[in-house]
Structure 1
């Protein structure tokens, strides 16, 4: 577990910590280049981690943050989690809420329990040969993206990222999502601003319904619905996270 290579700016900027989806690569934020102009960006990479429970995944993440994030060096710290990464973000604000000034949740996979058919992924990835598994990524692709909204280069990057995942890693993360639970008393103690983004045309998860559920746990929360977006919305040509944050007065 590490942050992808980054450049340190000479000026004092807010820190933007991005926790990626199930791929764990951190590469897919590259399409949101405006963020890099206005923030110090750190993208988490945990593509090969196979922790057996949430504690095993969160503990090294907290250790990484404690080593590399000195709050005094930044004008604010934004924590952004997408899909699986949103579950990681929720666990972090349960355990170390004092570190973060803003929280952004995008198509949170905390709604996984509402899609019981997705548990079949654990069985499939544990029994089929690897060569066949890598072929199934083409079948999953339309569930993850709204293909017409994504440029060809971004489609290829996503496909390459999905095919780089070992099936056992995928199976393990599906099991983690199946066991995911929120500590409601701790979550409700997070009093900083929260922006919850959900895609109306998410074919993988009921993200709009989950956004409305999550909103009730935070005292300062806003929901932004993307009416024409799919699950991997940050890859879409018309989705600009920086502009969304500005429109909702979410910049520090």
Structure 2
């Protein structure tokens, strides 16, 4: 399973889920900050495609969920399953993204750091995250230079999910949304995506925020192994064949 991270691009915030999933998958988080990844949707998708072995699963969070959709659209034959967590495909429909894209590069470093710190409570349900993981989240957020954040906001502003052939993506897809996501309307977005994806399973975590994969109660494995879920037959058959 390749994990494609959110705006921080680090890939390091998936470790809690990776621990639980390592019985079913070989987990490989990708860093979108890799020098070969590039800075456009095309170069990012090409780079992920170069890392994608046939039969792999893709898990994308927020920004990474949009990238995962692009990769699956280009190489559907290589992918066995898709997991999208709080996909940021709705961001271009939010009124504030344009201002963030233009203003971020001009903010003084001190102000940018201060706004990033204050935004943590908007990004995540911090009371659902253990103190060491709050620090991991803080470091990941602060690791993103303002020009990179602006660039990724611009990419999300140009991402038009309506133009992707979702109806032809027949691989099993798990859509996860945080019920307390204050950054994006993720519950609404996964519902809209599910209407277009033929084999979609929607799971709403009612107490979760946007950065939900670090939360103590979040368990992707439980959703993936749900007896009536789209992944259960696939994963149970794989386990039986080992």
TM-score by length of 1: 0.85
- Partners in 1 of 2:200 and 2:51 — Cα distance? 27
Post-superposition offset of 1:186:
2.6
Aligned to 1:63: 50
Does the residue aligned with 2:70 lie in a helix, a strand or coil?
A: helix
The separation in 1 between residues aligned to 2:81 and 2:147, in whole angstroms, is 33
Aligned-partner Cα distance in 1 for 2:215–2:147: 29
- The separation in 2 between residues aligned to 1:196 and 1:171, in whole angstroms, is 26
Gapped regions of structure 1 (runs ≥ 5): 1-15
For residues 193-234 of structure 1, the C-alpha deviation after alignment (integer angstroms, 9 at most, x for no partner) is 111111111000000110011012211111111111100111
Please report how far the alpha carbon of residue 88 of structure 1 lies from its aligned counterpart in structure 2 after TM superposition.
Answer: 0.4
Q: Distance in 2 between matches of 1:190 and 1:21?
A: 22
Kindly report structure 1 stretches of 4+ aligned residues shifted beyond 6 Å.
Answer: none
Unaligned residue ranges in structure 2 (runs of 5+): 236-242
Does the 8 A contact of 2:181 with 2:208 survive in 1? yes
* 3-state SS in 2 of match to 1:103: strand
Distance in structure 2 (CA, Å) of the matches to 1:215 and 1:46: 26
Find the counterpart in structure 1 of residue 101 from structure 2: 122
Secondary structure of 2:222 counterpart: helix
Using the TM superposition, give the Cα deviation of residue 249 of structure 1 relative to its aligned residue in structure 2, in angstroms.
5.5
How far is 1:112 from its partner? Answer: 0.4
Q: Write the mapping of 1:8-157 to structure 2, written as runs, cut at 5 A.
A: 16-32=1-17, 33-47=19-33, 51-65=38-52, 69=53, 71=54, 76-157=55-136
| Equivalent position SS for 2:77 | helix
CA distance in 1, matches of 2:164, 2:34: 32
| Superposed CA RMSD | 1.7
Q: May I ask how many residue pairs the two structures share in their alignment?
A: 229
Does the 8 A contact of 1:47 with 1:165 survive in 2? no
